[in-house]
Structure 1
Amino acid sequence: MTTPSIKSLQIGMHWFPERAGGLDRMYYSLIGALPGAGVQVRGVVAGSPRVAADTNGAIQGFGPAAQSLPMRLMAARRALRRELQTQRPDVISSHFALYTFPGLDVMRGIPQVSHFQGPWADESHVEGADSFGQRAKRYLEQTVYARSSRLIVLSDAFGKILTARYGIAPERIRVVPGCVNVDQFNLPLTQNEARLKLQLPLGRPIVLAVRRLVRRMGLEDLIDAVKVVKRRAPDVLLLIAGKGRLEGELQARIDEAGLTDNVKLLGFVPDQHLATLYRAATISVVPTVALEGFGLITVESLASGTPVLVTPVGGLPEAVAGLSQDLVLPSTGADAIADGLAQALDGSLKLPDADACRAYARANFDNPVIAQRVATVYGEAIAAGSLH
């Protein structure tokens, strides 16, 4: 029996090939996989006309993300209205509250699902936004979530935030982790072959962190941890891939600690090199200090066959605990990270091998697996919607 087709309208933030970010990558992966789970996809994002060209018109870019906010909101509303006039979907799927909010009136009567990928207002506050901006974002999120009959969260940890901070009843919340294209990260390369390809040293233990360079990511703690690890493993090399406003501050921290030979900021690493970089690493680490719903990089690393150590923050433990509890550090902070890394590198911490990492990623987070779970939630929302 074939699954009946659900017509969905997917509201995203940016188009991943144009602007790289965790939410955008997740949206991009999901809309590629949903048709295989019986969900037809149309969508709107902030982006250029190339988006429509890339997707045979399925996803429309309503204008550049660099436009002023009022212009973007008006453009989002026009795009949503146009989509709804072209074809009435069975379900509207919101991945980003900001671009969903302007169309709430024209979407009335259509079942709505929100993909909650983090408390936007709180994240902005942690990263230094003013309190008025934070209040406006909170109001906007609250309004969009209130209209959703189902909300998909990436982890139990974020389900609790939705209930505590936004007053969403637990029975409307469904946990579906993020998805990754396992095949894209499962390269037929050995660790040394990956290192040769990227011109990285063959003999050194390499620790990798793929993160935006912003405050809540714990990169300061990670750099301080390497200072400690260096005493036990003098040739340790930490590679930090990503860009962000802390770049200058982090580089100064590296210089002051005398770690210029042990810590390198790589800047933005394009997607086509990312899988090779994960493969080249001895171990990955996610040192987050606050607000981590899932940590897609954990799964990307595992899909590449590279084990990953995580701090016990938000949804990070849930992402790896099914593989090995030893991958979860006892606490945040430089000391716990240093202990975990030193034990991982000297072999006293038993790490899962490459095959175990890949098999776990494929069974639990591969695009088709997650798309099927999302499709089930859409079906629930449609059934709930038809009861009213």
Structure 2
Amino acid sequence: MNILSGIDLPGDLVCGSFMIAQDIYEQSRERGDDVRFFVLKSTAGSPLVAGAIELDVAKSDGSDYVNALRSAIEFQLAGWSPDVIHLHHLAYGMAQALSMLPFSAPRLAFAHGTDVYDAIRDEEARSLAGRIAKSSDQVVFPTVSLVRDAIETGIQLDPRRVVIAPWGVPDAIGQPEYRSLENSKQVIVASRFTANKDIQTVVEAAALLPPEISVSIIGEGRERETLLKIRDDLALEDRVMIEPMMPRVSLWRRMRAATVAVFPTRETEAFGLFGVECQVQGLPVITSDLPVFGEVFGGSVERFRAGDPADLARVITSTVESDTKLRALSAAGLVNARRYQLSSKLKDLLSLSDALVSRK
């Protein structure tokens, strides 16, 4: 099967979207599919998705940018045609550019969360997301909660085309047991630094934690300088480490050295991949009280009121200081994570493409 896809982000950016694409298209290639996956030119390293084709197009807004993407892709595809087109991020330029190409192949769109969040705040993004959804044969959402968010945002969806297909994590990425860390009480967070991800609440909560609890925040984004200033203003330089995002395997190693992970998203979340990856390794997880986390994690996590630093500090402290609670969360997390084994979830995702092509 020939699969055409792409995401207009720098190819070496470590983010959930590329992790998901990496899992999907590595499996596709292993079964013999010819995948043409386009990304923007990497800023420093190699593309995270193996075999990705880099486009030397500067990211911007507007029709000129979309047309530049389209022209660059057409040049790369000379003489090749897809059996199916995957449109990642409903409100991104790459999805629009791919949808404009003169191919009759069926289209499978994937909502990732940031596209729905952007649509909440931007009418143009909302309109584009609706057009991409309308032009697609099916639209894949990882959770029912994200579908609700999209509908409430005003994105027009045909219920007959919506498919719920949860994401997955590698079947054996860690150590399936809780590790008692008597000399270390460390909170770990890994995320993009955006208002929605609400890392600010974590930094502010750190000021209310007992001094023996440290916080490691790993990520990149436009709020990095703001977070550093808040940390320094609170005199937390020795207890709150803010580090660049790192490769996935390195991040897994850092998870194994932590005591608990925090997922603080304030408004819209697609799934919670970081949290499930933590659970696979036996790491207890604390999330905000968004409905999506109830859908994905059930009772296997502790929760705090979204956007409330005092409540987060309370939950972190009561969790970290109770070995009994940590062990219970670790065990519950392992059970929950087995629901999202990558091997089975990839079969579900790839079967959607197979079905669309067979009906063509």
**TM category, shorter:** 0.7 to 0.9
Task: State the partner residue of 1:120.
Answer: 115
Task: State the partner residue of 2:167.
Answer: 178
CA distance in 1, matches of 2:167, 2:349: 10
CA distance in 1, matches of 2:316, 2:236: 16
CA distance in 2, matches of 1:326, 1:189: 16
Q: 1:332/1:247 Cα in 2 relative to 1: closer, same or farther (>3 Å)?
A: closer
State how many pairs are aligned.
Answer: 355
Q: Residue 233 of structure 2 aligns to which amino acid in structure 1? A: E
Task: State the partner residue of 2:184.
Answer: 204
CA distance in 2, matches of 1:370, 1:15: 26
Task: State the partner residue of 2:281.
Answer: 304
Q: 1:79/1:304 Cα in 2 relative to 1: closer, same or farther (>3 Å)?
A: farther
**Does structure 2 retain, via aligned residues, the 8 Å contact 1:298–1:308?**
yes
Larger helix proportion of the pair:
1
CA distance in 2, matches of 1:85, 1:269: 35
Higher mean alpha-carbon deviation, 96-105 vs 271-280, is at: 96-105
Alignment partner of 1:248 is 2:236: no
The 5 Å alignment of 1:88-103 reads: 88-96=81-89, 97-103=92-98
Candidates 13, 16, 20, aligned match of 2:14? 20
Task: State the partner residue of 1:218.
Answer: 198
Task: State the partner residue of 2:312.
Answer: 337
Candidates 339, 343, 346, aligned match of 1:368? 343
**Does structure 1 retain, via aligned residues, the 8 Å contact 2:176–2:280?**
no
Task: State the partner residue of 1:379.
Answer: 354
1:60 to partner: Cα distance: 2.1
1:238 to partner: Cα distance: 1.1
1:147 to partner: Cα distance: 0.5
Q: 1:75/1:100 Cα in 2 relative to 1: closer, same or farther (>3 Å)?
A: same
1:99 to partner: Cα distance: 1.0
Give every structure 1 segment of 4 or more consecutive aligned residues whose post-TM-superposition deviation is greater than 6 Å.
67-71
Alignment partner of 1:139 is 2:132: no
Q: Residue 223 of structure 2 aligns to which amino acid in structure 1? A: L
Unaligned runs of 5+ in 1: 1-5, 127-133, 196-201
CA distance in 2, matches of 1:329, 1:215: 18
The 5 Å alignment of 1:52-63 reads: 55=50, 59-63=52-56
Q: 1:37/1:311 Cα in 2 relative to 1: closer, same or farther (>3 Å)?
A: farther
**Does structure 1 retain, via aligned residues, the 8 Å contact 2:174–2:280?**
yes
1:153 to partner: Cα distance: 0.8
Query: Percent identical across equivalent pairs?
Result: 18
CA distance in 2, matches of 1:326, 1:51: 35
CA distance in 1, matches of 2:289, 2:327: 17
**Does structure 2 retain, via aligned residues, the 8 Å contact 1:302–1:358?**
yes
**Does structure 2 retain, via aligned residues, the 8 Å contact 1:36–1:368?**
no
TM-score, length-normalised on structure 2? 0.84
CA distance in 1, matches of 2:218, 2:38: 29
Alignment partner of 1:76 is 2:53: no
Alignment partner of 1:44 is 2:24: no
Task: State the partner residue of 1:285.
Answer: 262
Q: 1:349/1:125 Cα in 2 relative to 1: closer, same or farther (>3 Å)?
A: same
**Does structure 2 retain, via aligned residues, the 8 Å contact 1:229–1:342?**
yes
Q: 1:356/1:207 Cα in 2 relative to 1: closer, same or farther (>3 Å)?
A: same
1:309 to partner: Cα distance: 0.9
Higher mean alpha-carbon deviation, 207-216 vs 275-284, is at: 207-216
SS at match of 1:159: helix
CA distance in 1, matches of 2:317, 2:178: 23
CA distance in 1, matches of 2:32, 2:192: 34
SS at match of 2:192: coil
Q: Residue 138 of structure 2 aligns to which amino acid in structure 1? A: R
Candidates 145, 153, 167, aligned match of 2:141? 153
TM-score, length-normalised on structure 1? 0.78
Q: 1:75/1:364 Cα in 2 relative to 1: closer, same or farther (>3 Å)?
A: farther
**Does structure 2 retain, via aligned residues, the 8 Å contact 1:15–1:24?**
no
Task: State the partner residue of 1:198.
Answer: none
1:176 to partner: Cα distance: 1.6
